[in-house]
Amino acid sequence: MKVWIIAWKDIKIRLKDRKGMALFLFLPILLTAILGTALNGVLTDDTNSMPKMTIAVYNADAGEIGTRLIEDVLQNERLASNITIHSFTSKEKVELQVIEGKNDVGLIIPQDFSQKIGAAESTQLEVLQDQGKPLISQFVRSIVTSYANRVGAVAKASKEVTTQLANPKQTAAAVSVNFESLAAEVIGQLGEAAGSEDSFVVDQPIGKKAVSSMQYYAAAMLAMFLLYNATVGAKMIINERSTETLARLMNTPTSKTSILLGKYVGTLAFSILQLLIFMGATNAAFGVNWGENVLQSIVIGLTYAIAVSGLSMMIAAMIANEQAVETISGLGVQILAALGGSMVPITVFPDFMQKIAHITPNTWALNGFIDSMSGTTWQALLLPSVVLLAIGTVTLLIGTLRLRYQ
């Protein structure tokens, strides 16, 4: 009973803090609206919500493969309504168009592109990026890279096959075959395949459907702002310790364990309240679907709240200076949020950074939310749930034991 009294006291203090309420409830909702709307269609291959873009193109290639890239890929049925192509007669004119902001992206198809691809030789497409529109440039780059890689791979395989067949040591009888025509035919067929609907390189979700940008940033902001509870809960304990309020509590008949658990439960209860309010508000205001089985997202949120509350106890036990916790709250949480994918998806990071990101609890939480939204199974959520529970349990034990003997 005393645990709940102490917890309720901490909750009331936080509810009365208008600045804190704005930070924990209204700011994440506002950021979700801004980021989810601004990046609508960029995180998925949903061409209905994909932003309109213009591409300035200089095609110096006299062959068929360069023409197919423009006509069959960038201007296929799926993309023609979103991508406008402007052709120019030199690289310099394309650069000028991008610099002056008249076109979003520039694309340079080099001379002899088709010939070098057909001969399985090295060649390079150039995507000229407007520094203010990196996501659009990345989108275009992924399309042309996919096309070039697929055409080049088959061209190389075709060259190898024709070389082997043409080797008299490998051939029992002379066979009259026009190997160049055969290779050209295979390359042409691949060019058609590269322009088909499945030519895009996209991330496939674990579940049944892709997640929209609004869903992604709702989950990302929730993961980031729930993490702030770790520092806020720690600051409350450190403040009470510095004013000797905690010491006076410890000298009452109430056991030290009950007092410390009360502090932990207070942070946990507020985190759960924040979780439920945010999920309800984003669903009502922006139509964010938290999954066909919303209970999955709630379970991930609960395990994440346990991890965050445990971290608050460990931080309070390890740090005695309230100013140091302020630094962690400001800089540390932002670093963890960025590393965990709350700013941009971690899939755009190098492989080593993606591995490092998994030491942060918010990475596991965000991945769990995204999987739940995509309609995954309970089994797929077992690992993130166990990891978050383990983080919460270990940090709670470390924090409670240290605080008992301080």
Res. 37: pLDDT tops 90:
no
pLDDT of residue 406: 62
Give 312-360 pLDDT, tens digit per residue.
999 888 887 777 777 777 788 888 888 888 887 777 677 788 888 889 9
Confidence of residue 15 (pLDDT cuts 50, 70, 90): confident
Res. 374: pLDDT tops 80:
yes
Instruction: Give the residue with greater pLDDT, 288 vs 343.
Output: 288
214/287 Cα distance (integer angstroms) = 9
Selection from 198, 197, 194 nearest residue 77 by Cα = 197
At 255, list the tokens. 């056991």
Mean pLDDT of 113-129: 80
Confidence of residue 17 (pLDDT cuts 50, 70, 90): confident
- Give phi and psi for 57, each to the nearest 5: -120, 135
Summary mean pLDDT of the chain: 79
C-alpha angle with apex 30: 9 to 138, nearest 5 degrees? 130
pLDDT of residue 242: 76
- Give phi and psi for 210, each to the nearest 5: -75, 160
238/228 Cα distance (integer angstroms) = 16
Confidence of residue 199 (pLDDT cuts 50, 70, 90): very low
Instruction: Give the residue with greater pLDDT, 190 vs 319.
Output: 319
pLDDT of residue 161: 58
Instruction: Give the residue with greater pLDDT, 116 vs 92.
Output: 92
Confidence of residue 220 (pLDDT cuts 50, 70, 90): very high
Domain ranges across the chain: 2-41+208-404, 53-199
| Residue whose entry in the numeric block shows the structure tokens 């008992």 | 404
Mean pLDDT of 379-392: 93
Strands 53-59 and 105-109: parallel
Res. 284: pLDDT tops 90:
yes
Res. 140: pLDDT tops 80:
yes
pLDDT of residue 303: 97
pLDDT of residue 366: 93
Selection from 225, 206, 209, 247 nearest residue 362 by Cα = 225
pLDDT of residue 343: 82
Confidence of residue 194 (pLDDT cuts 50, 70, 90): very low
Cβ neighbour number for residue 340 with a 10 Å cutoff: 24
CB 150 within 8 A of CB 115: no
pLDDT of residue 22: 76
At 252, list the tokens. 């009452």
pLDDT of residue 328: 74
Strands (E), 4-153: 53-59, 83-87, 105-109, 126-129
Number of helices followed by number of strands (H, E) in the chain: 17, 4
Confidence of residue 177 (pLDDT cuts 50, 70, 90): very low
Res. 368: pLDDT tops 80:
yes
179/195 Cα distance (integer angstroms) = 25
Res. 205: pLDDT tops 60:
no
Mean pLDDT of 257-271: 89
Mean pLDDT of 279-289: 92
DSSP 104-140: SEEEEE-TTHHHHHHTT-----EEEEPTT-HHHHHHH
Mean pLDDT of 119-135: 76
Res. 380: pLDDT tops 70:
yes
243/383 Cα distance (integer angstroms) = 41
Q: Which CATH class is domain 53-199?
A: alpha beta
